[in-house]
Amino acid sequence: MKESLADEGVLCVEFVDGHSCLQGLRDRLCDVLITGSQLPDMHAVTLISEVLKICPCLPVIVITPKSDIPATVFAMKGGAFEAVEEDADVRAILPAVQAALRQFPEGLSRTMKPLTRVEHKVLTHVLEGKGSGEIALALRRSRRTVESHRCRILRKLGVRNVAELCCRVAGRRSAQ
């Protein structure tokens, strides 16, 4: 698959397991992540959960076993952007990759810095509709610290305000 996608102009980097993939994402983000439904060290849904902590908007395509509807449903409910059967050739995968690439403004995901653990916690609270004061109490931080985290989150995700942030993250999850 890597060679076929490369022939279509899609740069691919392979990882042997989920943990090395997560480390690779911490070092350098990508535009779309393609993974199998079962990795040697974790399930795809676990990987997706951890990936979204690093980059909440990153589209993830899961390759599922042929005709395995429960695996496909599980992957989609777990946050996958798309699920494609493992026997599918590049002509079936390429449209999913192209749709995933349209989710970001050009090159945004590659230049974006990963969210820290604290920023991810703040983001989770923001998406729940909580204000800086509430978040500060919940995380035992000062309001000013939370506001700084919010500013960095907006900058890292390439949005100008919380409304755009919610649309970006919600749009990524509802586009599935």
Bridge partners for 61 per DSSP: 34, 82
Which residues in the chain belong to E strands, given as ranges?
A: 33-36, 60-64, 82-85
CATH of domain 2-111: 3.40.50.2300
Task: Tell me the pTM.
Answer: 0.66
CA distance 134 to 83: 37
DSSP states of 15-32 as a string?
-SSHHHHHHHHHHS--S-
Mean pLDDT of all residues in 30-50: 88
CA distance 80 to 66: 17
* Fold adopted by 117-174: Arc Repressor Mutant, subunit A (1.10.10)
Mean pLDDT of all residues in 97-110: 66
pLDDT by residue (tens digit) across 46-72? 998 888 877 777 888 999 888 888 988
3-state secondary structure of 55: coil
State the CB neighbour count (10 A cutoff) for residue 139. Answer: 15
When pLDDT is cut at 50, 70 and 90, the band that residue 104 belongs to is low
pLDDT by residue (tens digit) across 127-167? 888 999 999 999 999 999 999 999 988 888 778 888 888 77
User: Which uninterrupted H or E stretch holds 165?
Assistant: helix 162-174
pLDDT at res. 51? 86
Enumerate the CATH 3.40.50.2300 domain ranges in the chain, comma separated: 2-111
Enumerate the CATH 1.10.10.10 domain ranges in the chain, comma separated: 117-174
